[in-house]
């Protein structure tokens, strides 16, 4: 199964979002080989769901609280996210790690909350430009994985996403062979450390219709996590066609 995830970030309010989804729904369909999942801001998800004639779009959330419930002003729990109808939660995106200072411990708790609610987790890892230039990408990514994931996790609920921070929103990507190699190394790590023989690993960072078919044809890449290009329905549909 190939996956294409649209991470809208803090974009697309109510009718803007609805318009994009309506166009996407008309143009592309999920099937048994590939599916797309949309992660709008949560209030837009509700609006979109309430205004679609047929509720056949798969939604996810871009984040969840590390806590179950209680006095946590501004937070939204995994349980609430499930109630909205989301099936997936993105955890560990580099913007959450850097701008919101989310540590490995926080990410661990978020994954736990999501899994308690039987939501699927898309867990992101990826190195900075400095680490990349120093040749430390793999070492850093393995550390990100092993600091957060443990053997108590139901790995059937986990999808991994490799997003080099320096490729996010920059129009640059690693070379194709570098992308494939890192995906391979992630899969090898999952096998060695957790005895997981099969886990989807998606690539994210400046995926566009012009480079998606090259990226998705790589042996170890199981789909994409799309930011900017997922805000334009026609572009997102073109990317889906190459999956």
Query: Does 225 interact with ligand PGA (rule: CB under 6 A)?
Result: yes
Beta carbon of residue 40, minimum distance to ligand PGA (angstroms, whole number): 14
**Are the beta carbons of 243 and 216 closer than 8 angstroms?**
yes
Q: Which of residues 24-83 bind ligand PGA (CB under 6 A)?
A: none
**Are the beta carbons of 60 and 122 closer than 8 angstroms?**
yes
- DSSP-assigned letters across all residues of 142-204: HHHHHHH--TTS-GGGEEEEE--GGGTTSS----HHHHHHHHHHHHHHHHHHH------EEEE
Give Cβ neighbours of residue 235 (< 8 Å, ≥ 6 apart): 208, 209, 229
Instruction: List the x/- string, 127-166, binding to ligand PGA by CB under 6 A.
Output: ------------------------------------x---
Query: Does 92 interact with ligand PGA (rule: CB under 6 A)?
Result: no
Judged by CB under 6 A, the residue of 44, 131, 206, 212 near ligand PGA is 206
Structure tokens at 63: 């984040």
Beta carbon of residue 220, minimum distance to ligand PGA (angstroms, whole number): 19
Q: Residue 127 catalytic?
A: no
Judged by CB under 6 A, the residue of 207, 237, 239, 243 near ligand PGA is 207
Q: Which residue(s) pair with 57 in the sheet?
A: none
Give Cβ neighbours of residue 204 (< 8 Å, ≥ 6 apart): 5, 7, 124, 126, 161, 162, 163, 167, 168, 224, 225, 226, 227
3-state secondary structure of 208: coil
Query: Does 7 interact with ligand PGA (rule: CB under 6 A)?
Result: yes
Beta carbon of residue 81, minimum distance to ligand PGA (angstroms, whole number): 18
> If we measure between CA atoms, which residue out of 92, 171, 166, 173 comes closest to residue 125?
92
Beta carbon of residue 158, minimum distance to ligand PGA (angstroms, whole number): 17
Structure tokens at 175: 């070379």
The catalytic residue among 47, 93, 95, 183 is 93
* Cβ nearer to ligand PGA, comparing 2 with 68: 2
Query: Does 205 interact with ligand PGA (rule: CB under 6 A)?
Result: yes
Query: Does 228 interact with ligand PGA (rule: CB under 6 A)?
Result: yes
Q: Residue 47 catalytic?
A: no
Q: Which residues bind ligand PGA (CB under 6 A)?
A: 7, 163, 168-169, 204-207, 225-229
Active centre residues (catalytic):
93, 163
């Amino acid at each position: 199964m190939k996956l294409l995830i649209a991470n809208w970030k803090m974009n697309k309010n109510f009718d803007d979002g609805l318009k994009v989804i309506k166009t996407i729904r008309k143009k592309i369909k999920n099937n048994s080989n590939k599916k797309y999942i949309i992660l709008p801001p949560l209030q837009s998800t509700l609006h979109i769901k309430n205004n679609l004639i047929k509720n056949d779009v798969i939604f996810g959330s871009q984040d969840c609280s590390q806590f179950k419930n209680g006095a946590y002003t501004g937070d939204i729990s995994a349980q609430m996210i499930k109630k909205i109808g989301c099936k997936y939660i993105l955890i560990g995106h580099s913007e959450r790690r850097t701008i919101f200072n989310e540590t490995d411990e926080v990410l661990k708790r978020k994954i736990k909350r999501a899994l308690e609610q039987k939501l699927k987790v898309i867990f992101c890892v990826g190195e900075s430009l400095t680490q990349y230039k120093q040749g430390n990408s793999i070492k850093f990514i393995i550390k990100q994985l092993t600091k957060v994931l443990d053997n108590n996790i139901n790995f059937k609920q986990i999808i991994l996403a490799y997003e080099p921070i320096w490729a996010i929103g920059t129009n640059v990507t690693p070379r194709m062979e570098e992308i494939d190699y890192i995906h391979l190394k992630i899969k090898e790590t999952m096998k060695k450390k957790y005895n997981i023989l099969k886990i989807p690993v998606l690539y994210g960072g400046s995926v566009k219709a012009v480079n998606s078919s090259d990226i998705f044809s790589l042996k170890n890449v199981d789909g994409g996590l799309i930011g900017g290009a997922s805000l334009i329905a026609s572009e997102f549909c073109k990317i889906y066609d190459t999956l």
